[in-house]
């Protein structure tokens, strides 16, 4: 294992095997004299890489044939605009549940495009929870409409535990920070999107999984680069794709499939997160979790130490010990341990041990 153990919130650690294979993409001899960085995206060789990434992902996430998979650019953030721009011509209202800063950004952008209504928010409690169904403002929906949620809130460390309580509306999900760690109910989810840089590879490619029913003819008023159907019709090759990032995504997803697939990574994320929540719960408030227990994220564990001095000492010592990327987001401070699929259990165990030892030394 590397000396540095990377717990960054994204981009984050990739498995050594994936990094080693990615390097072969730069080797001209292995690729008919042209590396993947230099290759034409119209070549047959690139098409195989592109199709392979798509089929590995379809298999890994059990995406049904009713849905298409697109590889676009602009990050998950561009989807905050593209989703309402494309969907609000079919649906008349976008309902949003705001559970964190990214969810709030999606809500704000949607308001610029069309009729957007806030269904529930946990902003008043510093986004420490997923609002309960009983706290939602609306029970009768203007239909046809869709509901936008953010499945995991990277900054605050909360996560939807299941989707059973969601109303009977088509669901749009930002799955950027927990994709590949739990089942997605595709029969309910009309569109899901994720930047690749947490669980699926490297920054630069955004995955959109969209029900084909939404892929209707291009609205001539809509800029073509912001039109899902325009991209779908060309198999995500309307313009030059981020070829190397799609190649890395293919390698990462292939690795996850070979390791045992989605269920295996759900089990691993359960085990990794339990390790840290157990320490928090048994620490007598030395480590105080930000998220309400019933909304805890398995991807981002957020907590604070009793004083800002101790917090700083903890982060400094952790950094010296090789643990990288665990300071909390500036909006809530404290600490955040991100546990994406490329992070090894062994690194988690070492960090957990470090936390136990730090507590023993510093608690009275
Ligand atoms: C849940 C969530 N949505 C959206 C984003 C924004 O992603 P991007 O930087 O790809 O635009 C992030 C980034 O961390 C995120 O965690």
Angle at 228 (CA atoms; ends 107, 67), nearest 5 degrees: 95
> Which region holds residue 33: left if phi is over 0, alpha if psi is between -120 and 50, else beta?
left
Per-residue model confidence (pLDDT) at position 141: 86
Atom 5 in ligand 1: residue holding the nearest Cα: 76
How far apart are the CA of 123 and the centre of ligand 1, in A? 18
**Three-state SS at 72:** strand
Cβ(11) – ligand 1 distance below 6 Å: no
Per-residue model confidence (pLDDT) at position 152: 98
Nearest partner of 106 among 184, 194, 165, 236, judged by Cα: 194
> What are the binding residues?
42, 76-77, 102, 154, 174, 197, 239-240
How far apart are the CA of 128 and the centre of ligand 1, in A? 18
And the tokens for 230?
Answer: 């325009």
Cβ(195) – ligand 1 distance below 6 Å: yes
Cβ(75) – ligand 1 distance below 6 Å: yes
Cβ(150) – ligand 1 distance below 6 Å: yes
Residuewise pLDDT in 10s, the chain (364 residues): 458 999 999 999 999 999 999 999 999 988 889 999 999 999 999 999 999 999 999 999 999 999 999 999 999 999 999 999 999 989 999 999 999 999 999 999 999 999 999 999 999 999 999 999 988 888 788 889 999 999 999 999 999 999 998 999 999 999 999 999 999 999 999 999 999 999 999 999 999 999 999 998 767 889 999 999 999 999 999 999 999 999 999 999 999 999 999 999 999 999 999 999 999 999 999 999 999 999 999 999 999 999 999 999 999 999 999 999 999 999 999 999 999 999 999 999 999 999 999 999 998 7
How far apart are the CA of 109 and the centre of ligand 1, in A? 14
Pocket test for ligand 1, best of 83, 154, 339 (most atoms within 8 A of CB): 154
Cβ(177) – ligand 1 distance below 6 Å: yes
How far apart are the CA of 174 and the centre of ligand 1, in A? 8
Cα four-point dihedral sign 295, 296, 297, 301:
positive
Q: Crossing angle for the helix pair 44-60 and 261-281, nearest 10 degrees?
A: 60
> Across the strands, what pairs with 93?
145
Per-residue model confidence (pLDDT) at position 217: 75
User: What domains are defined for the chain?
Assistant: 16-258 (3.40.640.10), 261-362 (3.90.1150.10)
How far apart are the C-alpha atoms of 227 and 232, rounded to whole Å? 9
HEC secondary structure over the chain: CCCCEECCCCCCCCCHHHHHHHHHCCCHHHHCCCCCCCCCCCCHHHHHHHHHHHHHHHHHCCCCCCEEEEEECCHHHHHHHHHHHHHCCCCCEEEEEECCHHHHHHHHHHHHHCCEEEEEECHHHCCCCCCCHHHCCCCCCCCCEEEEEECEECCCCEECCCCCCCCCCCEEEECCCCCCCCCCCCCCEEEEEEECCCCCCCCCCEEEEEEHHHCCCCCCCCCHHHCHHHHHHCCCCCCCCCHHHHHHHHHHHHHHHHHCHHHHHHHHHHHHHHHHHHHHHCCCCCCEECCCHHHECCCEEEEECCCHHHHHHHHHHHHHCCEECCECCCCCCCEEEECCCCCCHHHHHHHHHHHHHHHHHHCC
Which atom of ligand 1 is nearest to 203's Cα?
Answer: 10
> Across the strands, what pairs with 288?
304
Active site residues per annotation:
102, 174, 198
Cα four-point dihedral sign 338, 121, 151, 233:
negative
Cβ(82) – ligand 1 distance below 6 Å: no
Per-residue model confidence (pLDDT) at position 87: 96
- Are 197 and 154 a contacting pair, CB within 8 Å? no
Per-residue model confidence (pLDDT) at position 265: 98
How far apart are the CA of 69 and the centre of ligand 1, in A? 19
């Amino acid at each position: 294992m590397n000396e540095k153990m990377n717990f960054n919130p994204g981009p984050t650690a990739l498995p050594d095997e994936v990094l080693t294979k990615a390097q072969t993409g730069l080797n001209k001899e292995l690729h008919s004299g042209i590396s993947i960085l230099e290759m034409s995206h119209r070549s047959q060789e690139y098409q195989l890489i592109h199709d392979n990434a798509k089929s590995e992902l379809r298999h890994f996430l059990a995406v049904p044939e009713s849905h298409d998979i697109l590889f676009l650019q602009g990050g998950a953030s561009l989807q905050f605009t593209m989703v309402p721009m494309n969907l609000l011509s079919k649906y008349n209202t976008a309902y949003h549940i705001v559970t964190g800063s990214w969810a709030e950004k999606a809500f704000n952008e949607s308001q610029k495009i069309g009729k957007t209504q806030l269904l529930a928010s946990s902003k008043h409690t510093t986004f420490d929870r997923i609002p309960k169904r009983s706290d939602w403002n609306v029970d009768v929906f203007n239909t046809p409409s869709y509901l936008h949620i953010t499945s995991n809130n990277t900054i605050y460390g909360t996560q939807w535990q299941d989707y059973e309580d969601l109303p009977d509306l088509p669901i749009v999900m930002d799955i950027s920070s927990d994709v590949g760690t739990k089942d997605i109910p595709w029969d309910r989810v009309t569109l899901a999107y994720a930047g690749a840089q947490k669980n699926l590879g490297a920054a630069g490619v955004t995955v959109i999984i969209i029900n084909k029913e939404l892929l209707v003819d291009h609205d001539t008023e809509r800029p073509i680069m912001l039109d899902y159907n325009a991209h779908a019709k060309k198999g995500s090759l309307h313009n030059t794709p981020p070829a190397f990032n799609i190649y890395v995504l293919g390698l990462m997803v292939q690795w996850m499939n070979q390791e045992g697939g989605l269920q295996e990574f759900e089990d691993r994320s359960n085990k990794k997160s339990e390790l840290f929540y157990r320490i928090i719960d048994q620490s007598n408030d030395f480590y105080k979790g930000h998220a309400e227990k019933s909304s805890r994220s398995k991807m981002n564990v957020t907590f604070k130490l009793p004083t800002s001095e101790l917090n700083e000492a903890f982060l400094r010592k952790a950094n010296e010990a090789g643990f990288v990327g665990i300071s909390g987001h500036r909006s809530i401070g404290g600490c955040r341990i991100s546990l994406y699929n490329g992070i090894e259990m062994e690194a988690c165990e070492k960090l957990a041990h470090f936390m136990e030892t730090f507590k023993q030394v510093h608690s009275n």
